[in-house]
Structure 1
Amino acid sequence: MSGISLNLTINPSGNDKSGNVKSNRNEKHERFLKKKQYLMRKGLLKDKQNKRKNRRRSKKQNHTQINGEEQSKAGAIFPKFNTTVPHTSTSFVSTQTFCQKSSTSVSSTACTSQGKPTKKMVPPTSGPLKYVAMDCEMVGTGPKGSIGELGRCSIVSYNGDVIYDKFVQPTKPVTDYRTRWSGIRRQDLRYATPFHQAQKEIIKIITGKVVVGHAIHNDYKALRYFHPACQTRDTTKIPLLNQKAGFPEHEPASLKRLTKALFNKDIQTGRRGHSSVEDAKATMELYKVVEVEWERKLASEAIS
């Protein structure tokens, strides 16, 4: 029995596997560091961190502190309307007046927030590209031509260049061409553009633009469309124009009389009827006479 010897290793921690545990932890840590370095070289780690930061920021922005408690607050969404103030040396802001959404089948972009009328100031953009003048000629359908329908539409730019000029085939048979006023004859509508096609083309052109016209509500009615009031300039409703022409301020004057008084120019003469191109150009020139003063007045009304 004296030849037997015992080799005992005493582990003070009481765990004979502590060496293996420590080595495993070190290996895991090294693998973690290598993976982290690899992700940083690839740029993936920064992307993940940025995404987390952006998520945290968005959460903070979507909450406001009310009475010491965080509550989410929905922001009202306003559609953008870009209008211009062309060729003016005076810097001022164009206006958005009260607008209501159309209930017709083809509606315009509404100047409203969630169906409620709003006043919104729109910063001017450079150039006259957002201004057009439009004039329409109507023909008669139904009994004795009593129903007016679109027969021709012309749109010109701020500088008077023709953007659109087409004869339009009404949805119903024409019973009165009203040639004395419209200038439209039977042969003009033989190969005319169908109404619904013309309607889409016209609306595409004027959407988002300031439309100038003379008694333009009649043109919108013929188009079966209503443009936002804040993007409409009706030369029959500008008292300054009548004042410059020497007419009573609140009495609508005809396009022919205004053009003669201000430019000494005769339009709508003869028996061949009106020209919608000529009328659209005359309307734009009338608007330019009072453009600066009128836009400033609209802007001041919106601010007040």
Structure 2
Amino acid sequence: MMEKRRIGPFNATALTLGCMNLSHAYGTPPGREAAEALLRRALEAGVDFFDTAALYGFGSNESLVGAVLKPHRQHITLASKCGMTGVDGKKVIDGRPETILRTCEESLTRLGTDVIDLYYLHRRDFQVPIEESVGALARLVEQGKVRTIGLSEVSAATLRRAHAEHPITAVQSEYSLWTRNPEIGVLDACRELGAAFVAFSPLARGFLTGNLTDPATQLEPKDIRCQMPRFEPENYARNLKLLDDYKAIAIETGCTPAQLGLAWLLAQGDNIFALFGTKSIDHLDENLGADGLKLPPETISRLDDLINQTTVSGARYSPAIQSEIDTEDY
């Protein structure tokens, strides 16, 4: 049995599968057969918490996930997101109540389910008061179409405003050794309000696996990392210098670099979930090998000193993308 943690009314695996990679953003997605095989392997291994969104593949990811998970629906926690979708082939942030209600109906159809366990507002729409967007999500709860509500990429202040409108079960944002933004305020706010924190990109978008040594040649042109400052040649060259000591700690610990990064994250609090994504069954199995791995306090301290917001080179996002999110920034 894999380790489980409490998220609202659910007990779900602390190692959580993010399904975006199977349809969206990280270069050419795998074929349908390979994607389905990866999802089935996750189920076989014991994963029972799966995350998708209306945006991913502009709906195709929800259709994929729904088709594979439908026979197991009563035994899994299913999360999806609204508020950021594809319109005419372009990403659009739209948190208006009418859009949220419509998107939910579309997602339910694609997912082949009557209810979504955890439904996030994918991005805050700065043109719409957060109370109005959360109010629409609350109506979905009243209608029985959504069981619990989450927020993605929000600040502590926005979380508190939203929680005053309706209880927030979880916040999803990027968190890893090299992205510490949640430590500014959101982690404390989650603990204060009793919300879980679901950390996406816990392996620093592949950096902490140790396998990505040359983004210029290893990444496809349409990979979202090509637009991220940390992956620009000069910054990445500096960041790579951190990996030798990091890999040495993994060897001392008796685990792979990926497992070390996941174990560090899960050690940050018992309300934290590690939401990782992959296209590879081998990498899936490797990541799941972090289940139950407990790091000594001195190892955690060494990792904190080695990779953090002051030792990593490059901003998390480009200025254009940073302007779309509500998270605190260093």
TM-score, reference length from structure 2: 0.24
When Rg is computed on C-alpha atoms for both structures, the one with the higher figure is: 1
Q: Could you say which structure has the higher helix fraction? A: 2
> Could you say which structure has the greater relative contact order, defined with CA pairs below 8 angstroms and 6 or more residues apart?
2
